[in-house]
Structure 1
Amino acid sequence: MSQIKGSSADQPTNAPLGALHDIRVLDLTQALAGPFCTSLLGDQGAQIIKVEPARGDMIRYAGPFAKDAKTHDFGNVFQNANRNKRSLVLDLKSAEGQEVLLRLVAQADVLVENFSSGVMERLGLDYERLSAINPKLVYTSIRGFGDKVGGESPYGHWPAFDIVAQAMGGLMSITGKNENSNVRVGSGVGDTVPGLYAAFGTMAALLEAKSSGRGQYVDVAMVDAVLAVSEVVVNTYDATGVSPQPMGNELRGFAPFNTVAVKDGEVALGAPHNPQWSKLCTIMGREELITDPRFDSDLKRWNNKTEVYEIVEAWTSQYTRAELTEILGGKVPLGPVLNAEAIFADPHFAARQMLCEVENPRTGRPARITGPAVKLGRTPASIRHRAPLLGEHSREVLLEAGLSDAEINRLVEVGATTINEEQVLIKESAVR
């Protein structure tokens, strides 16, 4: 596993700059969708300033927490979604806090926010005002049902969480064992998928701004993003006029494409097209099935899927997961269902640096988070430092923005910012 040591301000001298090292991002987001978006930019080297209220991002206080955590204000979800960022506390409801933000906007390339619809307008920090200060600014918002820029939704003022996006975006309608068991996908894809689209849209707008000299508004709705990756919903209904129902682990039109039984559980197997089906039949010693008129096309195998699975499982159930993986691995698409313990032990994720160690300031020992999934050959992504403590970089960022110590102290006096000196104590104790 790759390991990042030290505080969030420490950056290893050999850490790659990243493809976005010259991009400055103001991150006004909370929870998961927005922070996930900006973490992707940060992994690629962008300089992320996380602007938080005095109470901090709400997700700081959400578990899971390390068993030996001294306080419950630095959860693992926050750690994972806020690596490579610096924290600045600003009260955006105060005139002083707004003035500081406007100074930062003048120096920024990107601003990302996921407030409820209308909040930035009420604060007087809407896109029109900010783009007048910095015409090159790319302004990205992530809301449950989007903003008026992309089309004003009748649900535009509704609040939303991951489960709402999964439900209304169609994903829950096709997830589960059958039509009476609609279930939410186990991870927060109603947040992370919108975050992915927001990062993509931000990058597209940044690229265009290099030639035009003008930024623009990037509008992402959580429910839109979920629908966009729920291709079965649209494709099936358009073709047949029938709403697709949950099918467990199957995919309509594909067989075999499911989990199949083995001696000690099940494995995922996909051999729905003629090349894979022929290879599977040969390995099973059932070459006659290749030309069998019941199974000699993709459509026929789907139409006769009950018989297909009976034949395949009669063979796979003779073996354990390990044995079947040895027989089919690298030949026919197959994979054991890995739980977290197995993933942490699997050589693939180690080789791909998908589990990285960062400091947990609440335990004094490393925590493991997911590594960057996008690998660039010449300017690789990296996790340079852990997620920040609340207000850990307030003074540092404000000094960079051109404020004097006296001006910063005045902001503290009026409650417009908070200076967190805790990290200084951590550094001092580490030296002893």
Structure 2
Amino acid sequence: MTPRTGALSDVRVVDLTQMLAGPFCTMVLADLGADVVKVEPLSGDMVRELGPFASDDTMWAFGGYFQSVNRNKRSIALDLKSPAGREAFLSLIDSAHVVVENYRSGVMDRLGLGYEMLAERNPALVYAAIRGFGDERTGASPYREWPAFDVVAQAVGGLVGINGRPGQPTKAGPGVGDLFPAVLAAVGILAALRDAERTGRGQFLDVAMADAVLALCERIVYQHSYTGAVPAPEGNGHPMLSPFDIFPCVDGWVAIAAHRDHFWARLCGLVGRPELASHPDYATNAARVQHRDAVATLITDWASARTRDEVVEVLGGQVPCGPVHDAESLTHDAHFAARDMLVRLAQPGSSQELAVVGSPIKLAGTPVDTFRRAPLLGEDADDLLLEAGYDEARIAALRSGGALAPRPV
């Protein structure tokens, strides 16, 4: 095994997660240096089959979805329903600091591998769960048995109800119902690890996807409790800020957020209307909110006569603004190149190296500067079991007994 670097290089994470939320959480930890051991069922994480696949891929071992959230991990595939598979799994727990799973409530307990069972074996273990509606250990929701995916979490947590245009509630494009819970779970894991360092005792923690989305939508709660209002979809604007919106250009769109009065004054000068900076209908944010349609018309008339690049050239660095990128145009943005936010990884079965998103967490002293492609199913099983004290004969017996997946071809 290549020595790991990074802030978490002395942390081992046993990762039982599939799909998006759990794998994204553990990838954040892996990017920061943790040794993340992905324990998959014999058939593999179901995302392996979802693609998209490279045009010249001859293996179809995994596609872009799996690669994007499973880099920097090692893989072993075990049958946890078999005694031999559970024994092998428990051997990994002995050296683990963290376990992460996103099964439905009770699944791990029925396997005899729930938090209490694992904590008896490894008292310092931090056990994290990401579920749609949480775990009864921290708060027994009446929905705790319900399965959930991103769109459900976005709906229940309040995001769909305020997103989109008036009368058309819309889910957010990216899977924020998975991704934000994942990031919060990573934060919780780091806090629990710090506590375990002090006390020698681990703990159970969980993040409910619906809870995380509600936290993301924190504005709607105080708006309602303070004013009685029920926020609804408002398009790209903001109910309390103006201008704060997306505006059309000749060849695209730009975001402009000049709601603070000094930015508004600067914007007025840049678009050739300096007299509006002190006009009583526009001089303050409160006034501009009352006259938001007139403000939007003013900016739209100016921006729609120019290209996106021309608008950004005039406003960039003067008032908060930015181009509305699509997947193609952002690959040419100098910002993302300078920040190493597009990382190319080898793709098994393909001659290409293909791009995934890099890590947005930039540590100056322990930088995230190397990436390993996502693993083939069970690619690291032998190394992991040898590290856990198995010899080659026991590993062969595990395979012949069907508790361990065959070596990948």
Structures share fold, TM-score greater than 0.5: yes
Q: Give the 5 Å matches for 1:54-203.
A: 54-179=42-167, 181-203=168-190
Distance in 1, Cα, partners of 2:309 & 2:371: 37
- How high is the TM-score relative to the length of structure 2? 0.97
Write the letter of the residue equivalent to 1:98. R
Question: SS state of the match for residue 345, structure 2?
Answer: strand
Counterpart pick for 1:248 among 235, 260, 264? 235
After TM superposition, give the deviation of residue 195 of structure 1 in Å: 0.6
Q: Which amino acid aligns with 2:402?
A: G
C-alpha distance after superposition, 1:173-228 (max 9, x if no partner): 1111112x111111111111111011010001001111111111111101111111
Contact 2:258/2:264, CA 8 A, preserved across alignment: yes
Letter in 2 for 1:258: D
Rounded to whole Å, the distance in 1 between the matches of 2:148 and 2:160 is 15
Does 1:396 find its partner at 2:383?
A: yes
Alignment match, 2:7: 19
1:285-317 deviation per Cα after TM superposition (whole angstroms, max 9, x unaligned): 322212211112111110111111122222223
Equivalent position SS for 2:353: strand
Question: How many Å separate the matches in 2 of 1:295 and 1:149?
Answer: 53
- Matched residues, number: 409
What amino acid is aligned across from residue 48 of structure 1 in structure 2?
V
The residue that corresponds to 1:213 in the other structure is 200
Q: Is the Cα contact below 8 Å between 2:181 and 2:209 reproduced in 1? A: yes
Root-mean-square deviation (CA, aligned residues, Å) is: 1.4
Structure 1: where are the runs of 5+ without partners?
Answer: 1-8, 423-432
Separation (CA, whole Å) in 1 of partners of 2:148 and 2:60: 25
Aligned residue in 1 for 2:314: 327
Comparing 377-386 with 198-207, greater Cα deviation is found at: 377-386
Aligned to 2:262: 275
**1:421: Cα distance to partner?**
4.2
SS at match of 1:124: coil
Corresponding residue for residue 344 of structure 1 = 331
Shift of 1:366: 0.7
Letter in 1 for 2:40: E
Matching of residues 33-44 of structure 1 within 5 Å: 33-44=21-32
Query: How far does residue 266 in structure 1 lie from its aligned partner after superposition?
Result: 2.4
Q: Equivalent residues in 2 for 1:263-302 (5 A)?
A: 263-302=250-289
The share of aligned pairs that are identical, in percent, is 48
Q: CA deviation at 1:52?
A: 0.6
User: In the alignment, is the contact (CA less than 8 A) between 1:45 and 1:382 conserved in 2?
Assistant: no
Q: Is the contact made by 1:146 and 1:219 (CA closer than 8 Å) also made in structure 2?
A: yes
Counterpart in the other structure of 2:355 = 368
Contact 2:376 2:408 in 1 (8 A): no
Distance 2:250 2:399 in 1: 65
The one of 394, 402, 405 equivalent to 1:415 is 402
One-letter identity of the residue aligned with 1:88: I
1:124-148 CA-to-partner distances (Å, cap 9, x unmatched) read 1111111111111000000010101
Unaligned 5+ residue runs, structure 2?
none
Query: How big is each residue's C-alpha offset from its partner over 1:9-53, in whole Å with a ceiling of 9 and x where there is no partner?
Result: 7x5x8xx71000000000010011000000000000000110011
Distance 2:254 2:148 in 1: 35
Measure, in 2, the Cα distance between the counterparts of 1:398 and 1:381. 27
Q: Secondary structure at the match of 2:247?
A: strand
* Structure 2 counterpart of 1:130, one-letter code: L
1:45 and 2:40 correspond:
no
CA distance in 1 between partners of 2:408 and 2:243 (Å): 59
> Which is bigger in relative contact order (C-alpha 8 A, separation at least 6)?
1
Aligned partners of 2:346, 2:224: CA distance in 1, in Å?
48
Q: Shift of residue 111 of structure 1?
A: 0.4
CA contact (8 A) 1:371 1:383 kept: no
Residues in 2 aligned to 1:232 and 1:173: alpha-carbon distance in whole angstroms? 12
Q: Secondary structure at the match of 1:142?
A: strand
Superposed CA deviations along residues 319-359 of structure 1, whole A, max 9, x for unmatched, are 22111111111111111111111111211111100011111
**Offset, 1:252:** 1.2
Deviations 1:144-190 (A, max 9, x none): 101012210100000011111111111111111112x1111111111
For residues 352 and 309 of structure 2, the distance between their equivalents in structure 1, rounded to whole angstroms, comes to 34
User: What is the rounded CA distance, in whole Å, between the counterparts of 2:91 and 2:254 in structure 1?
Assistant: 55
Show the counterpart of 2:220. Answer: 233
Q: Give yes or no for contact 2:379–2:408 (8 Å, CA) kept in 1.
A: yes
Q: Partners in 2 of 1:411 and 1:322 — Cα distance?
A: 60
